[in-house]
């Protein structure tokens, strides 16, 4: 009897949920149908009203159009009054093409529609008319229709839900309650009676399947309980063994955790340390690892130039032994067994090197000759090759290496292996970077310098002009110089003498540059260019004339020049203010034109032009 309240709640819950689900689905579907029916009803009523209004207009249209055309106001107002007299027309608004409006009736409805029509006479548009008709009655009819639909459909839905609720209760729920009662009457593994439904067996349905499944479950549970009792006896025999394994695993896990924490600290030391302090960091972590291993010595070797070079080592404070030495790599490669074990990164460990050597172990004999009594070592690899070694050793006597020490040594090598490889890459990359920067600097100088004179070449001139023009600080002057009658000089004095003149000319022009941004440049052949900062055109004129005279004062003899008995130059000068829109090629073309004028005027003189193309001698 204590189960009845639970059964009632269970029965009420499942039937109620089924009824509510059916009610919800039916309601949604009914709402959709009611919406469509209401919409169709409203549309039909609205269409009928529009057609009635249209009929009124068609009847009145001829008279209204004639009265509007004849300007018969009396007739027009009478016709409009007749239209608004119709029950379903509240207001008429007629507007002629002359802008005169005629209105009849008034809008009193809350909702209304407007039908607009054009008026014409003999094919000519003479105005428009708008008829306003009320929609309140349509809305009221639609609401009454909606209430009727909702009431009728709600009654159907509720009736259907009640019928389904009764059917579910009779056909399903009461049998499920009976199965639940049988299940809860006793534990499955103790129940002896089979599960069965108290009803006529017409056919095997889902409820029978549930009863069969419960019966199968009852039998399976009884069998499982029998097997469980047997298994529990076996489990008891394994319990002590498992406890021992757990204790061993806990100990191993604790050691592994300590090793992982230690290696994490070592890795963090390398990560936080500066690359330039790599050696100091390695020495520090080597001391920590040596103390953790509790050995006499810990050494890190690197394969370098056919030998294992000592990179860093640590020796216990209470041990007095000589420093480690670099070892020729041939000693290890000569022992094929030892070499193969190193290539495969096998941990090599000897508790007693002397005893192992006496047993004809050549690898042990080789390691014994290095001094220790007991050793453990592991290789470090780079792309499959032996990159280095990490060795731990005892010098005061033999030692039994524990698995903990083996694991710690292996993990330590795993940590420092990539660090050392990366550090070597960094050092090599830095060296390459320095060499590349030196080469780039040399190439940059060569690319912008004239070989003969040491002056900037044409490319450097363009770059310098671009920088000066972009800066737009003050006016700039461009001087284009050409050595007068230089070909006869080369023909009679020789090209070596001509080259010397060019070199002296370059040195002289460089010495005449006054400011930091002034630039002397070999433009090509016997032509030179100078870029100078000036305040105004008069200053540029004076500077160019002084430069012209200073070249003549150099006194370089030229016995084959019709202009003078010494080397002279013709100068084309361009004065440029930064507020003019000129590009570099335009400025150089102006300078070339000015130089051409100076040559045509007799050479050994200056011709100045302004960058806006207005020339000035």
SS3 content of the chain, % helix, strand, coil (to 5): 60, 20, 25
Bridge partners (DSSP) of residue 391 are: 299, 377
Long-range contacts, stretch 399-404, CB < 8 angstroms, 24+ apart: 399/351, 399/373, 399/374, 400/351, 401/349, 401/351, 401/374, 401/376, 404/255, 404/259
- For residue 402, what are the CA distances in angstroms to 240, 292, 351, 406? 26, 13, 10, 6
Q: Are 542 and 484 in contact (CB under 8 A)?
A: no
Q: For residues 485 and 593, what is the distance between their CA atoms, to the nearest angstrom?
A: 18
In 3-state terms, what secondary structure has residue 96?
A: strand
Q: For residues 581 and 499, what is the distance between their CA atoms, to the nearest angstrom?
A: 38
Q: Are 373 and 356 in contact (CB under 8 A)?
A: no
Q: For residues 607 and 206, what is the distance between their CA atoms, to the nearest angstrom?
A: 116
Q: Are 573 and 541 in contact (CB under 8 A)?
A: yes
612: its two tokens: 């806006």
Among 526, 527, 539, 616, which one carries the catalytic annotation?
526
Sheet holding 519-524, edge to edge: 519-524, 527-533, 476-483, 569-576, 606-610, 615-616
- DSSP codes, 363-400: HHHHHHTTS-SEEEEEEEEETTEEEEEEEEEESSS---
- For residue 324, what are the CA distances in angstroms to 282, 300, 314? 16, 10, 10
Strand 112-121 relative to strand 307-315, pairing = unpaired
- For residue 212, what are the CA distances in angstroms to 197, 206, 208, 453? 10, 10, 6, 111
Q: For residues 157 and 8, what is the distance between their CA atoms, to the nearest angstrom?
A: 25
Q: Count CB-CB contacts under 10 A for residue 228.
A: 13
- DSSP codes, 294-305: T-SEEEEEEEET
Whether 206 sits among the annotated catalytic residues: the reply is: no
Strand 476-483 relative to strand 307-315, pairing = unpaired
Active site residues: 526
């Amino acid at each position: 009897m204590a189960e009845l309240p639970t059964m009632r709640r269970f029965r009420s819950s499942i039937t109620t949920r089924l009824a509510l689900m059916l009610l919800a689905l039916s309601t949604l579907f009914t709402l959709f149908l009611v919406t469509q029916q209401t919409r169709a009803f409203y549309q039909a009523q609205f269409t009928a009203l529009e057609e009635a209004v249209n009929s009124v207009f068609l009847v009145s249209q001829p008279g209204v159009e004639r009265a509007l055309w004849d300007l018969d106001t009396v007739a027009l107002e009478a016709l409009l009054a007749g239209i608004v007299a119709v029950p379903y027309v509240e207001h008429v608004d007629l507007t002629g093409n002359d802008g005169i409006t005629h209105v009849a009736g008034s809008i009193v409805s809350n909702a209304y529609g407007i039908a607009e029509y054009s008026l014409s006479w003999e094919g000519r548009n003479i105005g428009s008319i708008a008829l306003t008709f009320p929609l309140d009655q349509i809305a009221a009819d639609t609401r009454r229709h909606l209430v009727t639909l909702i009431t009728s459909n709600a009654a159907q839905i509720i009736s259907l839900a009640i019928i389904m609720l009764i059917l579910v209760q009779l056909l399903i729920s009461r049998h499920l309650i009976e199965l639940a009662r049988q299940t809860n009457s006793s534990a499955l593994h103790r129940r002896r009676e089979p599960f069965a439904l108290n009803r006529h067996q017409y056919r095997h349905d889902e409820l029978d399947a549930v009863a069969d499944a419960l019966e199968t479950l009852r039998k399976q549970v009884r069998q499982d309980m029998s097997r469980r009792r047997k298994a529990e006896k076996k489990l008891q025999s394994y319990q002590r063994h498992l406890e021992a394994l757990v204790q061993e695993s806990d100990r191993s896990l604790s050691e592994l955790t300590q090793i992982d924490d230690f290696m994490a600290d070592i890795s963090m030391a390398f990560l936080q340390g500066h690359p330039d302090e790599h050696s100091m960091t390695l020495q520090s972590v080597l001391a920590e690892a040596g103390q953790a291993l509790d050995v006499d010595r810990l050494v890190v070797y690197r394969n370098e130039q056919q030998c294992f070079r000592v990179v860093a080592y640590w020796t216990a404070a209470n041990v007095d032994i000589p420093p480690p030495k670099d070892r020729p790599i041939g000693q290890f490669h000569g022992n094929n067994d030892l070499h193969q074990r190193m290539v495969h990164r096998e941990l090599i460990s000897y508790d007693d090197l002397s005893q192992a050597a006496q047993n004809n172990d050549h690898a042990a004999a080789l390691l014994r000759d290095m001094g220790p009594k007991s050793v453990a070592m592991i290789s470090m690899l780079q792309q499959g090759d032996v990159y280095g070694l990490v060795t731990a050793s005892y010098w005061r006597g033999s030692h039994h290496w524990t698995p903990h020490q083996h694991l710690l040594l292996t993990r330590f090598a795993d940590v420092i292996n990539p660090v050392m490889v990366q550090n070597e890459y960094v050092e090599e990359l830095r060296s390459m970077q320095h060499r590349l920067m030196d080469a780039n600097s040399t190439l940059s100088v060569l690319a912008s310098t004239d070989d003969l004179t040491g002056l900037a070449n044409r490319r450097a001139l363009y770059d310098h002009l671009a920088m000066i023009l972009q800066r737009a600080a003050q006016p700039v002057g461009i001087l284009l110089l050409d050595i007068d009658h230089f070909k006869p000089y080369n023909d009679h004095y020789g090209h070596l003498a001509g080259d010397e003149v060019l070199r002296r000319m370059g040195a002289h022009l460089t010495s005449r540059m006054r400011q930091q941004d002034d630039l002397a440049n070999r433009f090509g052949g016997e032509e030179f260019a100078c870029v100078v900062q000036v305040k105004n055109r008069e200053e540029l004129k004076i500077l160019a004339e002084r430069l012209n005279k200073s070249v003549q004062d150099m006194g370089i003899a030229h016995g084959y020049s019709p202009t003078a008995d010494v080397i002279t130059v013709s100068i084309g000068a361009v004065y440029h203010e930064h507020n003019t829109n000129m590009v570099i090629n335009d400025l150089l073309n102006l300078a070339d034109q000015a130089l051409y004028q100076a040559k045509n005027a007799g050479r050994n003189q200056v011709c100045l032009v302004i960058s806006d193309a207005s020339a000035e001698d």
